[in-house]
Chains A and B, each alone.
Chain A
Amino acid sequence: MLSSSINLAIGPAAVLRPLRLRGLVMDAPIVLTVFAICALGFVVLYSAAGENESLLLRQAVRFALAMLAFVIIAQVPPRVLRLWAPWVFFVSLSLLLLVEFRGVTGGGAQRWLDLGFSRFQPSEIMKIAVPMMIAWFMHERALPPTFKQLPILLLIICAPTLLIALQPDLGTALLVMASGGLTVLLTGLSLRLILALGAILLGSIPVLWNYMLDYQRVRILTFLDPESDPLGAGYNIIQSKIALGSGGLFGKGWLNGTQAHLEFLPERSTDFIFAVLGEEFGLLGLLFLLALYFVLIGRSLYIAAQAQDTFTRLLAGGLGLTFFVYVFVNTGMVCGLLPIVGVPLPLVSVGGTSMVTLMAGFGILAAIHGNRKLLAP
């Protein structure tokens, strides 16, 4: 790539100008890898969804929308993104509040359906808005953040996290918290503060535990160890482990996954699609997908390392790490390493809203990299 071949430290006499050599800002490594992952995704989805073409078509439409979001956002200079950051954050926060408020007055079980769509959007945006807000906040200030700035950072993370968790959408809440938390780690917050926060978090667990009712405790224990409840949450895990394990090294071959096709495996086309891949393409198929993911993550972190100011650096790093959490939580859940949280496999699972936000995030990364100010002779 052109950008990576230019030496940054040429000298003070150099003139700064934006890198706008071609018309569109696109980041080839990102675009190519995303296409590769999605192509693999379509192949698996075709099998997982029982060779259902209309579902595939809908997924393709979502992918097209997501690409559109990518291309548009990639053209926005990071300077503009920075100006927008607080607006994006506060508008989605108020939307979250609105959803919460309307949800309560709606009452009953009906509200889940009624607000299905409108509640989805603000919480999805938060996955980007929280790292943006933190990056914006730290941009004008010296790194690492001081002790006094810490409460503000925590508030930026916790307010949306709590609102989303109350909806309740535990998976998204977790991702939003991770996106904020990782961005704060990148600010260089002193290790002592990190340890202290961790200690407080751990210390509060027994206290909370004491206040919980028996059935709540049972639910948490099942959540942490789903296999203790094979009739409930554990059923999915047992079936997905059988799917993965029976796939072996090479897999049973495309469209030949018995677990998936005999309808043993629940949520095959959404949260547990990774197990379908593992059953039909084996360990090699899984490693191939994981490798593609790591190209994306590596590229994101490289962009973060190359970024030129605090805002873009933190934002790029935060988004890249969030993507890793995304991948790890889903795959860890499917192979029984982590509790069951409703997190889809990025770019592969059916479900459009998260794909759009993901690609918007990559659009930001492309924008950051493509709009660097180069020191040109």
Chain B
Amino acid sequence: MKTTIRLKDHWKEQRLFLSRLFAIGTIILLLAGVLIWRLFQLQIVEHQFFADLSQGNRLRIEPLPPTRGLIFDRNGVVLAENLPDWELIIIPEEIIDLEESLRRLEELELIDSTEHSSLTELIRSHRGFERVRLANLTETQAARFAARRHHFPGVDIQEGLVRNYPFGELTGHAVGYVARISPSDLDEFARGSLDRSDYAATSLIGRSGIERSYETVLHGSVGYRQQVVNAQGRVLLDSTVSAGDVLRLEPSQGGIETRWPIPGDNVVLGLDIHLQSVAQRAMDGFRGAVVAIDPATGDVLAMVSAPGFDPNRFSVGLSREDFRALSSDPDKPLFHRALAGSYPPGSTIKPFLGLAALHYEIVEPERRNMCPGYFVLPGYSHRYRDWKSQGHGPVDLHQAIVQSCDVYFYKLALGLGIDNMSVFLRDIGFGVKTGIDVSGENSGLIPTREWKQSQFSKREDQVWFPGETVITGIGQGFVLVTPLQLAHTTAMLAMGGQRFQPRLVMAIENGTTGKVIESDSVRLNVMSDIDESHWQEIEEAMVGVTEDSQGTGRVAMRGTPYSVAGKTGTAQVFSLAQDQEYDEEEIDERLRDHRLFIAYAPLDNPAIAVAVVVENGGGGSTTAATVTRKVLDAYLLGENNVVQQY
């Protein structure tokens, strides 16, 4: 409760109020004085200076573009560089009739008439002083324009830099590409993720891959110079040239100044361009993906998505038709299969499930199970068939992986149950994004009971069926993985449970000082509670795949001077009826099985982990393994001197 009561003293309060009003009123008058003084400065004292600037003599601000950072591979080979070229530019504030100018440029075949409306939109979205790049010109085009330049006030050619990828298609997916800034990029500026004014002079922006993810690193900071030009566009005063006395201007007086652009930083990738080219050549003619990772760091050594595309086409400006042709190609060359392609893992999931079964003590490794060539769930009639119709006979875990016995893994999956399987597979990196440092990654899918419930609307479809557990055991059904995830988890097998986040960029080199900052590998959760002997067991089985006389990968890996742990896989695209035989010849090419292979080598100190997916079995059942072999040979044996630096 109140102990003192303050009474309102109206007389006193009014005096207090008036004194405050008076004080604040005085401050207001002072501020008004400052304002008027400022106006006096501008309009009387510096009047002549500004009058000169406005009367035909304009202050032109010319933004200076920064040089985009280079991209190197791990051995210092340049993967993305800047080459000089001619650019046709327009300065909106100096244009008299935009429509007319564009139309006449089209007549000269300097710009494409199909881009008329998009160019108009682009120009209108820029501010008056910003230079908008209309097109890259060839030498002859540049000469053609130069002769008619005086007909085009506000249009000019300038020497610019165009992005060039010396390896073309080889790095299309892995490095990405730049493209002309589009209205949608300007939206991105508006949302504030990039600084709009930093791009005042820039015409190209990272559109995919490293070029996009590392846009802020590569781009650098814009500079500018100021010029005083007269109405005819003649430069009277240039801030980059030591100040003349043309207008009796002093730089301090409203001043003109220069700020040089700061070049972007260079980016060093873990990619080995030699290995990349071997992998690319090995995939020639197939659809699919190859990912090779250094298990000890997570560095991506090679990342191929086939078919690829030539990134240089984007940086010089792809016409609408060409882009439509590329994006509607049934082989989807623009689709980054290595990151975003999700495939059923097929039997490549077996080593991981074997590990899970050992860890959860579902199987005794030595105990043999009879494989009659099919499996039937108790109480059901459906036969889950083995790929080998006559059966593998009695097999233990080792042989089940070596020979890729399906029946063994049907039982093993049933023993584990979907809950254990999904938890374990997620823990080791399936079903979640690996967190690689470029965007566009797919998370794949590890199904759970809850997932199924949420996916289906009908009640009877929401239940998880035992049969779905069974086929998960051989990597079929709902389970989907990306080639990157497969390579990542294979690297984890190689490291006995240590996981490193996959990364493309190893180091960043300061564009000005040349100082290199190497980034640290990011260690992900370690599967430390899995017994050492379990890893051993799985590794021995995977070695058996490539060395045992029964091994499914022995043909492709025959005679390697290094030892390889591997696993084959076949992923069904097309479901066979109960008694139908799979006949490659009779099935439509797009519905044929995918072939997969995972491997790491050498055993004692693994230097590389590889995952290969070949879509629709192009080239027969051993294609994926053969591609893997070429990649391993190239990296470990070294067709030239790029290998074994460490």
Contacts and interface: CB of A to CB of B under 8 A. Distances in A.
Interface of A: 109, 141-144, 146, 182, 185-188, 215, 229-233, 235, 238, 241-249, 258-259, 262-264, 266, 278-279, 282-283, 286-287, 290, 294, 297, 301, 304-305, 310, 313-314, 317, 321, 324, 328, 331-332, 335-337
A182 B16 CA distance: 15
A337 B13 contact: no
Given A231-B63, A242-B53, A246-B55, A188 B47 contact: no
A175 to B, nearest CB: 16
- Give the 8 A-B residue pairs with the shortest CB-CB distance, closest first: A245-B50, A232-B197, A246-B54, A188-B16, A142-B6, A231-B197, A283-B43, A231-B200
A242 to B, nearest CB: 5
Q: Which of A146, A188, A287, A328 has the most CB of B within 10 A?
A: A188
Contacts of A259: 54
Nearest to A294: B32
Contacts of A233: 197
Contact of B42 (A313, A324, A335): A335
27 contacts: A141-B6, A143-B17, A188-B16, A215-B195, A233-B197, A235-B129, A241-B50, A242-B53, A243-B54, A245-B42, A245-B46, A245-B47, A245-B254, A246-B50, A248-B44, A249-B47, A259-B54, A264-B93, A283-B43, A286-B43, A290-B32, A290-B35, A297-B28, A304-B21, A321-B28, A324-B28, A335-B39
Contact of A142 (B7, B59, B200): B7
B222 interface: yes
Contact of B59 (A182, A229, A238, A297): A238
Contacts of B195: 215, 232
A185 B22 CA distance: 12
A244 B196 CA distance: 27
Nearest to B190: A109
A107 to B, nearest CB: 12
B38 interface: yes
A305 to B, nearest CB: 6
B109 to A, nearest CB: 30
Contact of A278 (B6, B28, B39): B39
B273 to A, nearest CB: 33
A262 B128 CA distance: 10
B63 A241 contact: no
Contacts of A264: 58, 93, 128
Given A109-B187, A142-B8, A143-B13, A337 B42 contact: no
A188 B20 CA distance: 6
B54 A231 contact: no
B16 A144 contact: yes
Interface of B: 6-9, 13-14, 16-21, 24-25, 28, 31-32, 34-36, 38-40, 42-44, 46-47, 49-51, 53-55, 58-59, 61, 63, 93, 127-130, 187, 190-191, 195-197, 200, 222, 224, 226, 254
Contact of B49 (A143, A245, A279): A245
A311 to B, nearest CB: 12
Contacts of A279: 54
Given A235-B129, A310-B13, 17 more contacts: A141-B6, A186-B17, A186-B20, A186-B24, A188-B19, A233-B197, A235-B127, A242-B53, A245-B47, A246-B50, A248-B44, A258-B55, A282-B43, A283-B39, A283-B40, A314-B17, A321-B24
A235 B224 CA distance: 12
Given A324-B28, A328-B31, A249 B43 contact: yes
Given A231-B63, A246-B53, A332-B35, A301 B43 contact: no
Contacts of B34: 337
Contacts of B42: 241, 244-245, 335
A310 B12 CA distance: 12
A154 to B, nearest CB: 18
Contact of A143 (B16, B40, B93): B16
A286 B25 CA distance: 21
A244 B31 CA distance: 19
B247 to A, nearest CB: 13
Contacts of B20: 185-188
A242 B197 contact: no
Nearest to A321: B24
A259 B52 CA distance: 12
A142 B42 CA distance: 48
Contacts of B44: 248-249, 283
Q: Which of B17, B25, B49 has the most CB of A within 10 A?
A: B17
A310 B38 CA distance: 37
B24 A185 contact: yes
Contact of B35 (A246, A262, A328): A328
Contacts of B200: 231-232
Given A241-B50, A332-B35, A266 B127 contact: yes
A335 B38 contact: yes
B8 A278 contact: no
Contacts of A332: 35
A286 B128 CA distance: 27
A142 B28 CA distance: 27
A146 B5 CA distance: 12
Contact of B191 (A109, A182, A287): A109
Contacts of A337: 34-35, 38
Contact of A305 (B13, B18, B191, B222): B18
A53 to B, nearest CB: 23
Contact of A301 (B19, B21, B50): B21
A232 B8 contact: no
B239 to A, nearest CB: 11
